[in-house]
Amino acid sequence: MLKQLSIQNYLLVENLSVEFTRGMTTVTGESGAGKSILLDALDLLLGARAKRDEILHGDAKIELVAEFDIGMSADAIAILVQDDFTDAKAPECIIRRVINPDGRSRAFINNIPVTQQFLRSIADFLVDIQGQDDFRRITSRKVQLQILDEYANSGPLRVQVAQLYSDWQKTLKELEDAIALEANQRDRVELLGYQFQELLDLDLAGGELDSLEDERKILENSASISETLAILEVELNKLDLVRSKTKELEKLPSSSKDLVSGRETLATALNLVDDAQNDLRSYGTTVKEDPQRLSEIEARLGKIFDMARKHRVPPEELLNKQKQLAKEIEEIDQNEDRITVLESEVEAREKHFRTSARELSQKRRKAAPEFCSEVNTHFASMGLDRGAIDIAFDDRVSAEGLEQLELLARTVEKYDFAPLRKIASGGEMTRVNLAIQAVAAKNSHLPCLILDEADVGVGGTISDSIGRLLRTLSETTQVLCVTHAPQVAAIGQQHFKVTRENEKTNLMNLEGEDRVRELARMLAGSEVTPETTDFAKNLLAQAMD
């Protein structure tokens, strides 16, 4: 429900704050006072485009704020919680919109900036604003289907069907992607297999490339290495004199620390030289000139480098390339198996969806005549004696089930049924809509219903019937109604009067005698008499019946 609305600098309103109650609220006032400003302000607040001439002062900004109680609106709560605008445990919805004199605007939900598009998307779950020619919500085929499902108590089944459809479509998309992938890879798989076999035939071992290059370098330089080793052997053998003299040092008294240290260091050095000489002799035995082995290595390296160029990778990456090809071939093989699995899943999920969707469809078609009949019972009391509605179903598979529907109506018996949106008279459309809303409200959590002169073109008994229908509707849905009919105004639990003074619009909450006087004015026009005052009191008394 709408709890509070604040308006600043909008049209003829300078500063206005209104608190609303549950049930039915009526708004009255003389012609030209600005009764529709509340509706227009709400429409603007919820995403309508601002016009330059709607700003009261040229250098001032419009500021509109509305607080909604969304405790009964599961859809609104779900959207706001999903986008982190509120907490599911304590949901709140305060909408603010600021429009600058240059036309630029900003909008906020719970002080978080939002776009106009988001405002419009959430609006359908908060209010249903209906001017004489504005019936966007009720003419939506999606909304009409939702109303019938709620009337038939099929809400949970409707949610289940939507989820099953989503699961089916998701799996179907996966299957289509897998089939497309397979088609694109039929030629590629042959190429991959050929490339992979080439690398298998190369039989490259880990570390083989480095080992071959080291061995090739030794073989290419074997003569030079042997010569170097021979020279080192000769020069190291010249240390024999150093060795004999070192032995003489061992015979000297060892009282000097420097002598002891020098003798030990020299002995260690000679031992290290001996070890190095032995290692070099051993290494020298492995260094031989071998032209045949060098030729084999050159040939092997040539194959490796040729394969690297062919696969456009560095030689050291050939093994990784082989693993990559093996993985890609495996994925293609797995994709073929996955297609078989997905085909079975798609078939099973479609079958599950259609089973539940047929059940939903049966409930819809069974409930449709009852729904229409119940709506039609309200028409006579609203001056539409020969009016009626009907429901047309069209086959259409979607998240909503196996069909879509359209509410059809006629207001004169000789005419054919036509979609609601094609009913010419705004007054007739208002009454048809009220009858639908009254029936739908029994099982639906409809948004706050805001009506601009729902009683236009009727009077007397019909106005009273419309008022009582609105009162009944307000038991489950908050109703705000701008009206010229005293019979409707008297039935509201809350009554506001719009006044205009010094080119400014104000709003008064009427109670007691003030409300009687306003109803008497509406009954009598310019001159209020004791008779009209008594009639006004009677209207209020009857409204309580």
Chain segment 96-141, per-residue pLDDT in tens: 999 888 778 899 999 999 988 888 888 878 888 776 555 667 788 8
Mean pLDDT in residue range 34-60: 76
The pLDDT value recorded for residue 198 is: 86
Residue 137 near residue 398 (C-beta atoms within 8 A): no
Task: Place 77 in a pLDDT band, splitting at 50, 70 and 90.
Answer: confident
Q: Give tens-digit pLDDT for 272-300.
A: 888 888 888 888 777 777 788 888 888 88
The pLDDT value recorded for residue 155 is: 85
The H or E element that residue 404 is part of is strand 401-410
Give the E-state strand segments of 36-172 in sequence order: 62-68, 93-99, 105-109, 112-114, 127-130
Residue 36 near residue 452 (C-beta atoms within 8 A): yes
More confidently predicted of 411 and 397: 397
Six token digits for residue 147: 């109303």
The H or E element that residue 25 is part of is strand 24-29
Task: Place 447 in a pLDDT band, splitting at 50, 70 and 90.
Answer: confident
Average pLDDT over the chain, rounded to whole? 84
The pLDDT value recorded for residue 334 is: 67
Mean pLDDT in residue range 249-255: 74
Q: Rounded distance, CA 353 to CA 366, Å?
A: 20
Task: Place 66 in a pLDDT band, splitting at 50, 70 and 90.
Answer: very high
- Torsion angle (degrees, nearest 10) of CA 354, 355, 357, 359: 160
Buried b (16+ CB within 10 A) or exposed e, 330-351: eebeebeebbeebeebbeebbe
Residue 442 near residue 382 (C-beta atoms within 8 A): no
Q: Taking 60 as the threshold, does the pLDDT of residue 67 lie above it?
A: yes
Paired strand residues for 315: none
Helices (H) and strands (E) in the chain, counts: 16, 15
The pLDDT value recorded for residue 366 is: 96
Least confident of 202-211, 419-428, 479-488, 513-522: 419-428
Provide CB contacts within 8 A for 458, sequence distance 6+.
382, 383, 427, 431, 466, 485
Radius of gyration of the chain (CA): 46
The pLDDT value recorded for residue 2 is: 92
Percent with pLDDT over 90 in the chain? 23
Q: Taking 80 as the threshold, does the pLDDT of residue 146 lie above it?
A: yes
The CATH homologous superfamily of the domain defined by 1-128+448-458+475-486+493-502: P-loop containing nucleotide triphosphate hydrolases (3.40.50.300)
Helix/strand/coil for 13:
strand
Highest mean pLDDT among 68-82, 152-166, 226-240, 309-323: 152-166
Task: Place 53 in a pLDDT band, splitting at 50, 70 and 90.
Answer: low
The pLDDT value recorded for residue 443 is: 73
Domain locations in the chain? 1-128+448-458+475-486+493-502, 184-333
pTM attached to this predicted model: 0.60
Q: Give tens-digit pLDDT for 449-474.
A: 888 776 655 566 777 788 888 888 88
Strands 24-29 and 479-482, by their bridges, are: parallel
Task: Place 364 in a pLDDT band, splitting at 50, 70 and 90.
Answer: very high
- Torsion angle (degrees, nearest 10) of CA 88, 93, 99, 103: 60
